[in-house]
A and B are shown apart, each in its own frame.
Chain A
Amino acid sequence: GAVVSQHPSWVICKSGTSVKIECRSLDFQATTMFWYRQFPKQSLMLMATSNEGSKATYEQGVEKDKFLINHASLTLSTLTVTSAHPEDSSFYICSANPGGQYNQPQHFGDGTRLSIL
């Protein structure tokens, strides 16, 4: 149980394009989802906490106008990278757990590899 699905797995697109990444909880409801970014050989860096029905909470240094988060249902959160540039190329991963607790085991999606040309 507690499966999180992320789509797409990888995206290659031109600079200036906006890219939407979906994160779904398949067998539980997730009032809270977390979005991370990971550069090669680096740790997962929390970008934002996505809250169902309300605004996301962004970490310091993350541009909320650049990384739009929508959590319109209890099973789906989306991250849109607007006007993406090569420096936005990274591995984006979402996580959630049935209780919505940050300090309980997280179930991660398999990530989205974003490459901006």
Chain B
Amino acid sequence: SQKIEQNSEALNIQEGKTATLTCNYTNYSPAYLQWYRQDPGRGPVFLLLIRENEKEKRKERLKVTFDTTLKQSLFHITASQPADSATYLCALAPAGYSTLTFGKGTMLLVSP
């Protein structure tokens, strides 16, 4: 069956460190992969999109990698801040599907 897996346990890190979140997928051939941030009681906010022919994408302190061989995307936040604390969702747009499918998300907690 098709799955998108993100770490279910919260990731706790200290301010200033780099946070790395993982998104693994099985039985998909995504053309695009997206990352979103969701705060409690709010809708997701788009962060980055990476295409299947791109290995890496950066935006300010954010970096996303996409390895279609490993079927994995890594999401990095460098110099993390307490304000980065939120749940981060990955989402796939599989080829041949006309919908976006989301993982459950990983909660990131950055302590001062």
Contact = CB atoms under 8 A, between A and B. Distances in A.
Contacts of A4: 43
A37 to B, nearest CB: 11
Interface in B48-94: 49, 89, 93
Contacts of B32: 103
Interface residues of B, number: 22
A105 B49 contact: yes
Contact of A6 (B43, B89, B104): B43
Interface string B34-50: 10100001111110010
Contact of A43 (B46, B98, B104): B104
18 contacts: A34-B99, A42-B104, A43-B4, A43-B89, A44-B102, A45-B102, A46-B101, A49-B98, A49-B99, A102-B93, A102-B100, A103-B32, A104-B49, A105-B34, A105-B46, A105-B49, A110-B43, A111-B41
Interface of A: 4, 6, 34, 41-46, 49, 59, 91, 93, 95, 102-111, 113
